[in-house]
Structure 1
Amino acid sequence: MQIHVLASGSTGNATFIEMENTKLLVDAGISTRRIKQSLDAIGTKVEDIDGVLITHEHRDHVNGLTTLLKKYKIPAYARPDTWQSMYCRGVLPEECCKALPDSLSIGRIKIEPFSISHDAADPVGFRLYAGSSKVSVATDLGFVTPTVKEALSLSDVMVLESNHDVEMLKNGSYPWHLKKRIMSNRGHLANTDAGWTLARVDRKAHTHVFLAHLSQENNRPELAEDTVAEILTNQGCRLGQEVTLHLTYPEQISGLSEHK
C-alpha cells in the first residue's frame, strides 16, 4: 500500500493511492506536468493510473483534469451535479467522464464515496478498501457529521483536513465574508476540529493520518501538528504508537509506504 499526497492546499490538491496493485488519483488540482513529475519521483507512471476520483468541482481540485484526461484517457469519476458544475466540463472527453455511484470497484479497490458538508454542488469524501486495508480521504468539509465519522472509523490511513487555526483566521487579513465562509458548517475544518475528530473516531491499533489542505495564510504546519497532537495526547492517545501524524504541503510530496 502506498499513499502519497502530491500536493495539498488552496493552490492545488492531488493524492496518489495504490492498494493491491491498483493505482488511483484522488483529485487532479495541479497541472498534468506536475502530476507526471510527482508520480515519476515516486516510481509510478501516469499511464498506469487506473482512475481519478473527484471530490468536488472547485478549481484547486480539478485544474489539471482537462489535459490529464485528453492526453492519457484515464477514466474519472464524479457525482453528476459535480460534473455539471465543473468549469471545464465542456472540453473534457466524454468517454472519460463517469458518474460516481454509491459504490464501485476499480481493479482490486472497492470505493465508497460519502457526503461531506462543503459549499460545492455534491461534495464527497472517499473510503477505499483492498484486502484488509482501509484508506479514507476527507478534506474540504465544514464539520464532521456522523456519516463522516463512521466513514473515517477503523482506517489504516486517513487524509484529513486540518485547514486553519481559528485565532489566526480571525485575526488575519481575509475579509470578514471569507472568514465566515471558512468557519461555517460548509467551509473548512480547523486544527482543533481535526484533533477532536481523531480523538473520538474508532481507530485501529495504529493509524497514519495526513493533515491536509493547510491554509498558507491562516495556519502553519507545525501549529497544525502541535494542536492535533496536544488534543490526542490529552485524550490518552500514544502518538507514534496509536496514531502517527504526517504533514502535507502545497509544493512537496508527503508519502507513506506500508506492506502487509
Structure 2
Amino acid sequence: MQVHVLASGSKGNATLLQGKDANILIDAGISTRRIKQELAKLGTGLEALDGILLTHEHRDHIAGLTTLTKRYRLPVYTRPDTWLSMTLKDTIPPECCRDLNNSLDLGSLKIEPFAISHDAADPVGFNFFEDACKCSVVTDLGFVTDSVKRALSLSDIMVLEANHDLDMLKNGSYPWSLKQRIMSNRGHLSNMDAGWTLARLDRKNRTDVFLAHLSQENNRPDIAKNTVSSILAEQGCEVGEDVRLYLTYPDRCASMDE
C-alpha cells in the first residue's frame, strides 16, 4: 500500500491510497484541477480512481466533488447522514452517490469505517487492509475514544491529525467561541493529543505516520513534529525507527518516500 497526502489543512483535504489493484481518493476538498495535477506528478490520473471516500460533509473535505463527479462519474461513498447533511449533494449525479455501511471492498482493498468525535453529522475515519498491511486515516476529531484507539492499533501506516499547538491557539487571533470549538471533544486534535495517542497505541515494529490537518494559524510543522517526537521519545519510542513521522502541507503532496 502507498499513501500520498495530496493536500491537508483547513483550505482543503485529499489523500490518495494505492493498493495492488485499486486507487482510492479519501476526501475531495481541493479543486479537480489540482487533484489532477497532483496525481499526474505521481504518474497516475483521475481515470485510474476506483472511488472516493468521504470522512464528513465539511467544505474542506468536499469542495471539489461537484466538478469531479460530473466530469469523471466516480462513485462516492459516505454515510447516509452525511449525504443528508451535505449542502452540495444536489449538484452530484445521483448514480455517483453511494451509501457507506460497515465495510466495503474495492479490488483487493478491504475498507472499514469507524466512528469519530467531530461536529459533523456522522464523521468517520477509515481502516484499509490489504494482505498483511493496515492503513488508518483519521483526521478532524476532537477526542480519541477507546474505540478509535482500538481502530488505530497495529497500523503499518497512519494519517493522524495534529491540528494545533495549544498555546498558539489560546494566544492567537481566533474569537473565543472558535477556540472553544477547536479545543472541544468534537473539535480538532492538538499536537500533544496526537503524540500521546501514538505513544499509547499498540504498534507494530515500525509505523509510518503522517501528521495531518495542521492549522496554518495555530501551528507550525516544526512545532508539530517536535511535540509529537518529544512525547514518543519520553515514552521509550525511537523516532525514526519505531515510528517515522511525515509532515503534510496545504499546498503540496506528502509521500512516504520523501
TM-score range, shorter chain: over 0.9
Tell me the equivalent position of 1:41.
41
Matches within 5 A, 1:151-230: 151-230=151-230
Matches within 5 A, 1:126-137: 126-137=126-137
Alignment deviations for residues 224-245 of structure 1 (CA, whole Å, 9 cap, x no partner): 0000000000000011110000
Aligned CA-pair RMSD? 0.9
Structure 2 distance, partners of 1:146, 1:23, is 30
Tell me the equivalent position of 2:122.
122
1:256, distance to aligned residue in structure 2 (A): 1.9
Letter in structure 1 aligned against 2:15: T
Alignment deviations for residues 201-243 of structure 1 (CA, whole Å, 9 cap, x no partner): 0101000000000000000000000000000000000111100
1:20, distance to aligned residue in structure 2 (A): 1.6
1:173, distance to aligned residue in structure 2 (A): 0.2
Structure 1 distance, partners of 2:133, 2:234, is 28
Give TM-score scaled by structure 1 length.
0.98
Letter in structure 2 aligned against 1:86: M
1:257, distance to aligned residue in structure 2 (A): 5.2
Letter in structure 2 aligned against 1:229: S
Letter in structure 2 aligned against 1:150: R
Matches within 5 A, 1:3-22: 3-22=3-22
Q: Which runs of 4+ in 1 moved over 4 A?
A: none
CA contact (8 A) 1:29 1:61 kept: yes
Structure 2 distance, partners of 1:154, 1:74, is 31
Structure 2 distance, partners of 1:216, 1:12, is 12
CA contact (8 A) 1:3 1:257 kept: no
Alignment deviations for residues 135-155 of structure 1 (CA, whole Å, 9 cap, x no partner): 000100001001110111111
Q: Calculate percent identity across the aligned residue pairs.
A: 64
Tell me the equivalent position of 2:69.
69
Tell me the equivalent position of 2:138.
138
Q: Secondary structure at the match of 1:186?
A: coil
1:21, distance to aligned residue in structure 2 (A): 2.3
Is 1:79 the counterpart of 2:61? The answer is no
Tell me the equivalent position of 2:101.
101
Mark the runs of 5 or more structure 1 residues left unpaired by the alignment: none
CA contact (8 A) 1:6 1:254 kept: yes
Letter in structure 1 aligned against 2:31: S
Structure 2 distance, partners of 1:45, 1:104, is 23
Give TM-score scaled by structure 2 length.
0.99
Structure 2 distance, partners of 1:45, 1:176, is 43
Letter in structure 1 aligned against 2:92: L
Structure 2 distance, partners of 1:34, 1:153, is 33
Q: Secondary structure at the match of 2:125?
A: strand
1:104, distance to aligned residue in structure 2 (A): 1.1
Structure 2 distance, partners of 1:76, 1:147, is 25
Structure 2 distance, partners of 1:133, 1:256, is 15
Mark the runs of 5 or more structure 2 residues left unpaired by the alignment: none
CA contact (8 A) 1:142 1:189 kept: yes
1:18, distance to aligned residue in structure 2 (A): 0.4
Q: Secondary structure at the match of 1:193?
A: helix
Structure 2 distance, partners of 1:77, 1:257, is 28
Tell me the equivalent position of 1:148.
148
Is 1:256 the counterpart of 2:231? The answer is no
Letter in structure 2 aligned against 1:245: L
Structure 1 distance, partners of 2:21, 2:206, is 23
Is 1:24 the counterpart of 2:24? The answer is yes
